[in-house]
Amino acid sequence: MGERRSPRIHAGSRMKEMMSTYYLGAKNAADNNQKVAWITSGGPVELLIAMDVIPVYPENHGAMCGVTRMGPELCEIAENMGYSRDLCSYARCDIGSAVTGKSPIMGLPKPDFLLCCNNICGTVTKWYEVLARLFDVPLVFIDAPFIHDEMTEGSVEYVKSQLRRGIKQMESILGKKFDMDRFSEVAMLSGEASSMWGETLALCKNIPAPMSAFDGFILMAPIVTLRGTREVLDFYETLQKELKERVREGVAAVPGEKYRLLWDNLPIWFKMRDLSEKFIDLSACMVASTYLNAWARYDLSGSDPVDAIARAYASAFVNESILHRAKLMRDIVEGYSVDGVIFHSNRSCRPYSLGQYDIKEMLTEWTGVPGLIVEADMNDERVYSEGPVMTRIEAFIETLKPRREARV
Amino acid sequence: MSTIAAQPYTYVKNWKERTGGRVFGYFCSYFPEELLHAAGVLPMRILGDKENVALADSHIQAFICSLVRTSLDAALKKKLEFLDGVVFPHSCDSIQNLADIWRYNFPEQFSDVVVLPVWVDVPEAEQYLAQEISRFKSKFERHLGRQIAGAELSKSLDIYNENRSALAALYALRRDKPNAISGQTVLDIVKASMYMRKEDHTALLQEALEELRSVPRDDDQSVRLVLYGNVCDDPGIMHLFEELEAVVVDDDLCTGSRYFLHIEPSDGDPIRRLAQRYLRKIPCPSKHSSDFDRRTYLVNMVRQSKADGVVILLLKFCDPHAFDYPDISKRLTEDQIPHLLIETEIQPASIEQTRTRLQAFVEMLKEKKNG
Ligand code: SF4
Ligand code: SF4
């Protein structure tokens, strides 16, 4: 057995600094006369940045709570308030943290208003309704109709009207005018960041992959929280440089990489390290994840920013049919030379998980690549049983052997 | 009508044989079924299946609500083969993904999703929904090989509204004379309306209303309950109320009043009217509304029906309702309205625990009421 850690990615420390500065800024917003809005991870943050509002992401905060293993404690607080144990554990953690101020960073700064876009799930609609009542603050809501077949022009128009409505609402909340030129600029930056993120991920098409999805889950924080700002571009540029260097030198994220895997759904935050080590032991590299790729899909080119934002956000990864998702996964399987797919059937996230059985079948039929479904939860350790998950992963990798050997 | 409610598929199959017509299955209370009706198709609500899940396990995880799980299971078991099509509205995440799974597994069947807006009370939602309904209409017409005339649709809207008024009258009568009709019968009547052509149902319902009107009012002191929640299709629970001598006086259930309340003005462009109807109905928790306050609505319902308490029936794994529950409960407590939460499943489970809890609840209400 070789090294049990991936070689360190140096850009990581730069990211830590960036994120601390960002959270500190958010915490001190009131003192600095700045407004804070809580926003969903798939929300059009460009609106906020263009208005100099500090965006705060309960989902990113939720991930922090998960990684630091505070999930169960925070969930229980919400459960004692009557929130069912079956609800999304991000929502439970967030509600638990919002009412007690508990979290690895002592809670999030209170919002001046909320921005919710339901392009990721119906859960956020309900969760933000709860927050709006809890904090008694305005809710800017953007309803992005789900796409079962094709995005209709009627739907784009609908989203655009709401964006315009949202802009007006923000103008009245903040008492200042919305600057379209600034918005255009921010949307452009955001689009650039998204494609840079995509390019960064694509470096993992190289064999061996210079980075694993486990690194990606950490390094994604800026694209999720700070897209639309310049520093994000600089950051991913640095990261890309480092990874390209690795590719040139043949440095592998997983030393002795033998198997290449695709991860579907959110990470299991509280098990990141154990799982990452497990895969290193198995010489398997998680070369891609649908979750990471979700932020690489915002095409924000085009001259009318409202139109571009409407189209990009309405066609978010989890806002389209499972058939569409399966096709994107096929592209990843082919483009990244994937040997097997691991589906995290995430109890918390019904829209992302329901349909995985059929997607698995489609993928195997189209590409011959097998899949494994493991039951877990991104934040709630109480529903996770380690033994069976690890055993099944081992057994699955074992079945990949003959195929892999035939290929080499 | 209780027979139809107990054996809906038998009724529907007979209807099909009798008339040679087509039947489409649909989900939730949000599918604009008037369109199907206008084309002579019988819309039939799919409300899950009482059998335990066998085949759906390899498509749907155990943490999805049993309405979704058992419905797909019934289809995979070929229990729904008599359907000529299956259509979905956009409501919750689970129905949304079920639609995709269904369409993948039954590629031969006519199927479509009418993607309703989630935000129901902004003006732009109406424009969008009208377009979305028109899109579905064209696809449906191509499938049928015939057009649906505006006049036909208007007529169906009127027929639906008549049925809704009749159901609303039934609820009003029940509020007034809850002893005249059991809670189960009322839910049966609503359920039967989801399986019959509405004109046939209205005719039967009118007769029932006549009878009810002639029943004298009786000022008994039974405990009066309001039911709140999603689907309630478990006769076991309804019979408990009778057993405990509590009467149901009103409900806010998706298989109850939320299915039919709200009647549209009777003129104007029929597509617009249709869109308005689904946007203005009492919203389900899966919809977002800026103006509608479910807590106040429920409190008012309790006050108007002079209820003593609320029984909240929630299907396990139903996110939209589970998110609303704590604040609803809090508000009921603030307004001193006793309430009890009962978690349900579509497949009938052992009723013992429910009986014990319900009994304690009703006893408490009795004492409170009679001092
Ligand atoms: S349900 Fe899924 S997409 Fe929605 S907030 Fe939870 S984890 Fe995110
Ligand atoms: S019961 Fe709840 S989760 Fe199930 S289909 Fe209805 S709204 Fe969706």
Global ipTM: 0.96
The answer, yes or no, to whether residue B263 has pLDDT greater than 50, is yes
Residue B40 — left, alpha, or beta (φ > 0 → left; ψ -120 to 50 → alpha)? Answer: left
pLDDT tens per residue across span A224-270: 999 999 999 999 999 999 999 999 999 999 999 999 999 999 999 99
Q: Which residue has a Cα nearest atom 8 of ligand 1?
A: A349
pLDDT tens per residue across span A87-131: 999 999 999 999 999 999 999 999 999 999 999 999 999 999 999
Question: Sheet holding A284-289: strands in order across?
Answer: A284-289, A259-264, A340-346, A371-376
Q: CB distance from A7 to chain B under 8 Å?
A: no
Region B60-64 average pLDDT: 97
Residues in A 342-361 with any Cβ partner in B closer than 8 A = 345, 347, 350-351, 353-358
Region B313-318 average pLDDT: 95
End-to-end CA distance of chain B: 39
By C-alpha distance, the chain A residue nearest B326 is: A82
Of B96, B294, B321, best ligand 2 pocket probe by most atoms within 8 Å of the beta carbon: B321
| Distances, alpha carbon A371 to alpha carbons A264, A283, A362, in Å | 10, 17, 10
Domain ranges of chain B: 1-147
Exposure of A379 in the CB half-sphere (CA atoms within 13 A): 29
- Ligand 1, residue A318: give the atom nearest the CA: 3
Task: Say if CB A267 and CB A291 are below 8 A apart.
Answer: yes
Q: What is the DSSP string of A300-357?
A: --SS-HHHHHHHHHHT-GGGB-HHHHHHHHHHHHHHTT-SEEEEEEETT-HHHHTTHH
Please tell me whether the overall predicted TM-score, pTM, comes out greater than 0.80 for this model.
yes
Find how far residue B15's CA is from the centre of its chain.
21
Q: Report if residue A206 sits inside a domain.
A: yes
pLDDT tens per residue across span A183-216: 999 999 999 999 999 999 999 999 999 999 999 9
Give the domain range for residue A185: 10-406
**Closest Cα to residue B99, out of B86, B84, B81?**
B86
d(CA A299, CA A313): 9
Task: Determine which helix (DSSP H) or strand (DSSP E) holds B250, and give its type and residue range.
Answer: strand B246-252
Contact (CB<8Å) B97/A162: no
Question: How far is the alpha carbon of B101 from chain A, nearest alpha carbon, in Å?
Answer: 6
| pLDDT score at A408 | 59
Residue A214 — left, alpha, or beta (φ > 0 → left; ψ -120 to 50 → alpha)? Answer: alpha
- Facing residue for B93 by CB, picked from A81, A123, A321: A123
Contact (CB<8Å) B122/A82: no
| Pair of tokens at residue B327 | 């604040």
Q: Which residue has a Cα nearest atom 4 of ligand 1?
A: A121
Q: Which residue has a Cα nearest atom 7 of ligand 2?
A: B92
Bridge partner list, A324 = none
Region B9-32 average pLDDT: 96
Task: Say if CB B342 and CB B314 are below 8 A apart.
Answer: yes
Interface size, chain A vs chain B, as Cβ–Cβ contacts under 8 Å: 144
Q: CB distance from B122 to chain A under 8 Å?
A: yes
Contacts of A125 in chain B (CB under 8 A): 118, 288
Cis peptide before A351 (omega within 30 of 0): no
User: Lowest-pLDDT range, A16-20, A135-139, A159-163, A339-343?
Assistant: A16-20
Q: Report if residue A75 sits inside a domain.
A: yes
The proportion of chain B whose per-residue pLDDT surpasses 70, expressed as a percent, equals 100
- Facing residue for B325 by CB, picked from A82, A133, A165: A82
Contact (CB<8Å) B132/A154: yes
Q: Report if residue A1 sits inside a domain.
A: no
Residues at CB less than 6 angstroms from ligand 2: B 65, 67-68, 91-92, 94-95, 230-231, 286, 315, 318-321
Q: Which residue has a Cα nearest atom 8 of ligand 2?
A: B92
Per the prediction, chain B carries an average pLDDT of 95
The answer, yes or no, to whether residue A406 has pLDDT greater than 90, is no
Contact (CB<8Å) B319/A81: no
| Pair of tokens at residue B168 | 């609303």
**What total number of domains does chain A contain?**
1
Q: Counting ligands in written order, which one lies closest to the CA of residue B315?
A: 2
Proportion of chain B in helix, strand, coil states, percent, rounded to 5? 55, 15, 35
Res. B319 pLDDT band, cuts 50 70 90: very high
Contact (CB<8Å) A155/B96: no
- Ligand 2, residue B315: give the atom nearest the CA: 1
pLDDT tens per residue across span B92-132: 999 999 999 999 999 999 999 999 999 999 999 999 999 99
Task: Say if CB B225 and CB B246 are below 8 A apart.
Answer: yes
Question: What is the signed CA dihedral for A116, A122, A124, A130, rounded to 10 degrees?
Answer: 100
Bridge partner list, B343 = B314
Contact (CB<8Å) B93/A157: no
Residues in A 302-331 with any Cβ partner in B closer than 8 A = 321-323
**Closest Cα to residue A55, out of A118, A132, A113?**
A113
- Ligand 1, residue A41: give the atom nearest the CA: 8
Contact (CB<8Å) B104/A165: no
Q: CB distance from B370 to chain A under 8 Å?
A: no
| pLDDT score at B266 | 74
Q: Which residues have a Cβ under 8 Å from the Cβ of A390 and sit 6 or more positions away?
A: A278
Q: Which of B66, B88, B104, B318 to mutate to test the interface with A (most CBs of A within 10 A)?
A: B104
Task: Say if CB B276 and CB B264 are below 8 A apart.
Answer: yes
**Closest Cα to residue A268, out of A377, A342, A351?**
A377
Res. B237 pLDDT band, cuts 50 70 90: confident
- Ligand 1, residue A127: give the atom nearest the CA: 5
Contact (CB<8Å) B64/A350: yes
Domain B1-147 fold: Rossmann fold (3.40.50)
By C-alpha distance, the chain A residue nearest B295 is: A133
The answer, yes or no, to whether residue B269 has pLDDT greater than 60, is yes
| pLDDT score at A1 | 44
Question: What is the Å distance from ligand 1's center to A123 Cα?
Answer: 6
| pLDDT score at A407 | 67
d(CA B8, CA B226): 26
Q: Which residue has a Cα nearest atom 3 of ligand 2?
A: B318
- Ligand 2, residue B98: give the atom nearest the CA: 5
Contact (CB<8Å) B326/A351: no
Res. A3 pLDDT band, cuts 50 70 90: low
Per the prediction, chain A carries an average pLDDT of 95
Region B320-343 average pLDDT: 97
Ligand 1 near A346 CB (within 6 A) = no
pLDDT tens per residue across span A127-143: 999 999 999 999 999 99
Q: What is the CATH number of the domain that holds A130?
A: 3.40.50.11900
Residues in B 51-90 with any Cβ partner in A closer than 8 A = 58-61, 63-64, 90
User: Lowest-pLDDT range, A3-12, A371-380, B35-44, B123-132?
Assistant: A3-12
The proportion of chain A whose per-residue pLDDT surpasses 90, expressed as a percent, equals 92
Contact (CB<8Å) A130/B327: yes
Residues in A 124-153 with any Cβ partner in B closer than 8 A = 125-127, 129-130, 133, 141, 143, 145-148, 152
Contact (CB<8Å) A323/B104: yes
| pLDDT score at A314 | 94
Task: Say if CB A143 and CB B288 are below 8 A apart.
Answer: yes
Region B206-232 average pLDDT: 91
